[in-house]
Amino acid sequence: MEPITGQEHARRSADEALMRRILDGDEAALGTLYDRYGGLVYSIANRILRDTGAAEEVLQDIFHQIWRTAARFDFERGSLSAWLLVMARSRSIDRLRRRSIVTTEEAEPSNMALRAEWDLETAAAQNQMIAQVRKALEALPEAQRQAMELAYFEGLTQTEIASRTGDPLGTVKTRIRAAIASLKKALGV
């Protein structure tokens, strides 16, 4: 694992402080966390779901869960941004799978919308993070990148990827494992 940079350490410390404030019931801390990571979570959900309304619901669900269960997050296991991205991906894929099983889904307007003020510094940090992820993905060999995109952005299982690409399942598993290791190294996670 790559050593943590000063900037990464400062971000993790700020995230820990926000999570402690959320545990203490500080709603402003949740708003700050939303401002910091809401755009990133939304962009992952929207990329997977290709539905802005559904992506907004996933975003709201995730931040509502953080408010209710902040104590479950363990900074020893990884960064808050990685945890949020995994939650966004999982929730979005679950929603896609439910959509394919259930043909009609009741849409109910949410009255719990979180509002974020435009914060240039937060937007710049999110754009920088997205650019780093995009650059790391582009640096992967084509076969690894394709497997990652099918798994993480289309929500396919490894078996489904093997079926779609015609590659052996073991090859798909190896490509995804290698891609994850490369991305972790490139992103310092």
Phi/psi at 2 (nearest 5 deg)?
A: -70, 145
Name the residue range of residue 154's domain: 140-189
| In contact, 140 and 182? CB cutoff 8 Å | yes
CA 112 centroid distance within chain: 21
Q: What is the pLDDT of residues 85-99, one digit of tens each?
A: 888 888 988 888 887
Q: Within this chain, do residues 100 and 175 fall inside the same structural domain, yes or no?
A: no
Q: Within this chain, do residues 152 and 86 fall inside the same structural domain, yes or no?
A: no
Averaged over successive runs of 10 residues, the pLDDT of the chain (189 residues) comes to 66 89 90 89 88 90 89 82 86 83 48 46 69 82 88 82 90 88 79
- Tell me the CATH number at 148: 1.10.10.10
Residue 78 lies in a domain: yes
Q: Show the tokens assigned to 77.
A: 């296991």
The pLDDT of residue 101 is 66
The pLDDT of residue 12 is 85
- Tell me the CATH number at 112: 1.10.1740.10
Residue 1 lies in a domain: no
Q: Within this chain, do residues 155 and 94 fall inside the same structural domain, yes or no?
A: no
Residue 23: C-alpha distances to residues 168, 170, 175 (Å): 46, 43, 39
Q: Which stretches of the chain are assigned E, i.e. beta strand?
A: none
Residue 132 lies in a domain: no
Domain count, the chain: 2
Residue 11 lies in a domain: yes
Q: What is the pLDDT of residues 96-124, one digit of tens each?
A: 888 766 544 444 444 444 444 445 666 66
Is 0.75 surpassed by the pTM of this model?
no
User: Cα(164)–Cα(110) distance, rounded to whole angstroms?
Assistant: 37
